[in-house]
């Protein structure tokens, strides 16, 4: 009886981890990816003029620059390297 | 008297002189007045015959003048951003960012936006230092864009806020099992900044569309082109909810102008009749063509006495 409690606890932890690995992480990765994709698109709306797309209020968007400065370079690389939108979208849904 | 008066119209009709004279007439009545030029090509200094800069200058008793310098305002704004960036990220990234700031500085609309910012700042400050602000605006097209800016950009910024909210919502979902992400989205400066900007537009819009605070006065000459443009502008401003305070018909040739002007006066009479018909619901004030250019306080005073009737309600 004394040994049963820790074993149960361990089993419960195992179940949680298994559940997370099998279901949650994968799904959350999709959500996370979607969130970052939307953010990348938002950045395109905010700072499109850096890529040559005119923006009616690029002047006002400058005040956001300090907060996204860290991510700026990688965003530019990401957005300029987009090749296949369909492949990108398909990668979100794993079919296994 | 409204707190904010705008003087606009076609180029060369005498906007600056009228704005200056009207401001003078207000100050003569003891109202603390600021006259501001938003035209990138300033001529307020010339009207008063005194150097006016981007800081308020005293022109006479309870009258101050100011010319908004877009370049100076934009520079101040950019320096503020650079400083903020330095506080948040490393110096290496700041160098990278500088390039982007330069691009935005050169982009079309930057000057306009800088003028608009200053303009909102002045409107917000009214009531403490000044009782009334008279704006001498740029020729019609530029001004209409400036005044309709808050409405147009308000819609755009709404979209951005919505998008950011959606991204944040998804991130929140994902961050339930992700401590790093949860920490990152605790507060969102981007959403805050966008919302603050949106509120600023709304304040400007509220000021501009409040008929008890703001009125737009058109200055025109008794000429066909001038009438047509004013008619269009009146229509557009009304559509955007900005109230029209009245129309000043400037440079009206007087009866005793002499033989040379007789022929012109005939066509002018036609134009005046047209103006009275078109703008019948608005307050009309006529100013005669003067013998010399208007410069200095004394000559402005002559115009001021006529222009003060703009404040009387139309009967």
pLDDT of res. A7: 93
Cβ of B177 within 8 Å of Cβ of A24? The answer is yes
> Taking the complete model, does pTM exceed 0.90, yes or no?
no
Q: What are phi and psi of B55, to 5 degrees?
A: -110, 150
Query: Are B193 and A63 an interchain contact pair (Cβ–Cβ within 8 Å)?
Result: yes
A69 in reach of chain B (CB within 8 A): yes
A93: region left, alpha or beta (phi > 0 left; psi from -120 to 50 alpha): beta
- Of B222, B231, B314, the C-alpha closest to B270 is B222
pLDDT at B315: 45
Nearest to B233 by CA among B268, B167, B178, B278: B278
Q: Which of residues 156-215 of B touch A (CB under 8 A)?
A: 156-157, 159-160, 163-164, 166-168, 170-171, 173-174, 176-178, 181, 189-190, 193-194, 197
A58 touches chain B (CB under 8 A): yes
Would you write out chain B's pLDDT as a tens digit for each of its 315 residues? 788 999 988 888 888 888 999 999 999 888 899 999 887 777 888 888 888 888 888 888 889 999 988 888 888 888 888 888 888 887 777 777 787 777 777 777 788 788 888 888 888 888 788 899 999 887 766 677 777 777 777 888 888 888 888 888 888 877 776 677 667 666 788 888 888 888 888 888 888 888 888 888 999 888 888 888 889 888 888 888 888 888 999 888 888 777 788 888 888 888 898 888 888 888 888 888 887 777 778 778 878 888 877 776 654
**DSSP string of B125-169, one letter each residue:** HTTTS-SEEEEEPPSHHHHHHHHHHHHHHHHHHHHHHHHHHHHHH
B176 neighbourhood in chain A, CB within 8 Å: 28
Euclidean distance between CA atoms B143 and B273, whole angstroms: 27
pLDDT at position A9: 93
Between B178 and A72, where is the model more confident?
A72
Q: Do the chains contact at B197 and A60, CB–CB below 8 Å?
A: yes
Strands (E) across B61-107 are located at 63-67
- The confidence score (pLDDT) of residue B34 equals 92
Of A28, A57, A72, the CB nearest to B174: A28
Partner residue opposite A62 with nearest CB, options B81, B159, B163? B81
Residue A11: which pLDDT band, with cuts at 50, 70 and 90?
very high
| Predicted local confidence at residue B302, as pLDDT | 78
Considering only CB atoms, which chain A residues are within 8 Å of B100? 47, 50, 62, 65, 72
What is the ipTM metric for this complex?
A: 0.73
Give the Cα separation of B281 and B32 in Å (integer).
30
Chain A nearest CA to B271, separation (Å) = 39
CB contact under 8 Å between A69 and B89, yes or no, is: yes
Name the minimum distance, in Å, from the CA of A23 to any CA of chain B.
12
Q: What Rg, from alpha-carbon coordinates, does chain B have? A: 24
Confidence at residue B256, expressed as pLDDT on a 0 to 100 scale:
79
Q: Which two tokens stand for residue B75?
A: 């520079």
- Count CB pairs under 8 A between chains A and B: 121
d(CA A21, CA A27): 10
Residue B109's CB is within 10 A of a number of other CB atoms, namely 19
pLDDT over 80 at A45, yes or no: yes
């Amino acid at each position: 009886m004394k040994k049963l409690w820790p074993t149960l606890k361990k089993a419960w932890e195992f179940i949680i981890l298994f559940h997370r690995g099998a279901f949650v992480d994968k799904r959350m990765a999709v959500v996370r990816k979607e969130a970052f994709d939307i953010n990348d698109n938002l950045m395109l709306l905010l700072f499109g003029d850096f890529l040559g797309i005119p923006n009616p209020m690029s002047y006002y968007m400058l005040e956001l620059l300090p907060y996204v400065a860290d991510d700026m370079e990688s965003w530019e690389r990401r957005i300029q390297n987009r090749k296949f939108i369909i492949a990108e979208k398909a990668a979100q849904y794993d079919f296994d | 008297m409204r707190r904010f008066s705008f003087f606009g119209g076609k180029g060369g009709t005498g906007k600056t002189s009228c704005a200056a004279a009207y401001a003078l007439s207000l100050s003569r009545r003891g109202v603390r007045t600021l006259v501001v030029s938003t035209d990138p090509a300033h001529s307020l200094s010339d009207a008063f015959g005194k150097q006016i800069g981007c800081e308020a200058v005293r022109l006479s008793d309870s009258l101050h003048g100011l010319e908004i310098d877009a370049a100076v305002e934009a520079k101040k704004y950019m320096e503020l951003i650079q400083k903020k960036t330095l506080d948040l990220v490393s110096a290496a990234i700041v160098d990278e960012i500088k390039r982007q700031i330069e691009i935005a500085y050169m982009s079309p609309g930057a000057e306009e936006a800088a003028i608009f910012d200053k303009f909102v700042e002045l409107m917000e400050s009214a009531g403490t230092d000044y009782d009334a602000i008279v704006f001498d605006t740029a020729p019609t097209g530029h001004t209409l864009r400036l005044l309709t800016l808050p409405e147009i950009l308000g819609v755009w910024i709404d979209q951005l806020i919505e998008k950011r909210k959606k991204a944040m919502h998804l991130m929140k979902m994902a961050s339930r099992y992700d401590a790093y992400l949860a920490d990152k989205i605790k507060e969102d400066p981007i959403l805050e900044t966008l919302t603050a900007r949106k509120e600023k537009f709304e304040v400007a819009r509220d000021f501009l569309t409040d008929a008890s605070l703001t009125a737009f006065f058109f200055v025109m000459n008794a000429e066909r082109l001038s009438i047509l443009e004013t008619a269009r502008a009146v229509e557009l401003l009304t559509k955007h909810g900005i109230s029209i305070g009245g129309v000043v018909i400037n440079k009206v040739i007087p009866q005793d102008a002499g033989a040379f002007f007789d022929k012109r006066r005939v066509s002018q009479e036609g134009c005046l009749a047209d103006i009275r018909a078109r703008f019948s619901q608005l307050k009309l004030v006529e100013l005669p063509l003067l013998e010399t250019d208007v410069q200095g306080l004394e000559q402005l005073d002559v115009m001021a006495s006529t222009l003060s009737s703009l404040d009387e309600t139309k009967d």
